[in-house]
């Protein structure tokens, strides 16, 4: 009888806020996909938007997790640099600068957001 009670799984933790946050981020991605023409997905700015939404999803998950003993922080300087690159990419597109500068700034933003996400995910995996 004691073996049966010891094999029972502990009560699962409620995941209400994480499910709501995941749903809102999926909604944001769906709106980007629905209201964007197929030609626009070849634009580097579309990559910047998707990378920014992905980083926002990761940072929101980090904020909503309550099972972390020590806080995990994203590198602020890298996120600010990525944001600066993203803004520069938008201005390069709107001011009709050369495609080279728009590609470089968009690539810089995506790389900064990607590295920031990898740093956070690595920190989360090592703290398990």
Query: Residue-wise pLDDT tens for the chain (128 aa)?
Result: 555 555 555 555 555 666 777 777 778 777 777 777 777 667 777 777 777 777 777 777 777 776 767 777 778 898 899 889 888 888 887 787 788 888 888 888 888 888 888 888 887 777 65
* Residue 82 belongs to some domain of the structure: yes
| C-alpha triplet 32, 60, 56: angle, nearest 5° | 40
Please tell me the predicted confidence (pLDDT) of residue 81: 92
9 within some domain: no
- Which range marks the domain in which residue 72 is found? 16-126
Q: Is residue 10 part of a domain?
A: no
Asked if the structure places residue 66 within a domain, the reply is yes
In 3-state terms the chain splits into helix, strand, coil percentages (rounded to 5) of: 75, 0, 25
Residue 5 forms part of a structural domain = no
The token pair at 58 is: 């990761």
Q: What is the pLDDT of residue 16?
A: 66
Is residue 2, in this structure, part of any structural domain at all? Answer: no
Rounded Cα gap, residues 72 and 127, in angstroms: 9
- Establish if 8 belongs to a structural domain: no
- Provide the sign of the torsion angle of the four alpha carbons 107, 109, 115, 120, taken in this order: negative
pLDDT score, position 14:
57
Q: Domain for residue 6, yes or no?
A: no
Q: How many structural domains compose the chain?
A: 1
């Amino acid at each position: 009888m004691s073996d049966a009670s010891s094999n029972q799984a502990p009560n699962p933790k409620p995941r209400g806020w994480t499910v709501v946050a995941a749903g809102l981020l999926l909604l944001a991605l769906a709106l980007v996909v629905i209201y964007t023409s197929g030609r626009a997905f070849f634009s580097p700015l579309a990559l910047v938007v998707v990378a920014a939404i992905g980083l926002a999803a990761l940072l929101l998950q980090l904020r909503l997790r309550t099972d972390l003993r020590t806080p995990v922080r994203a590198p602020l300087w890298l996120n600010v640099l990525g944001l600066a690159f993203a803004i520069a990419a938008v201005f390069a597109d709107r001011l009709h600068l050369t495609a080279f500068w728009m590609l470089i700034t968009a690539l810089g933003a995506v790389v900064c957001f990607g590295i920031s996400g990898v740093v956070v995910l690595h920190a989360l995996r090592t703290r398990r």
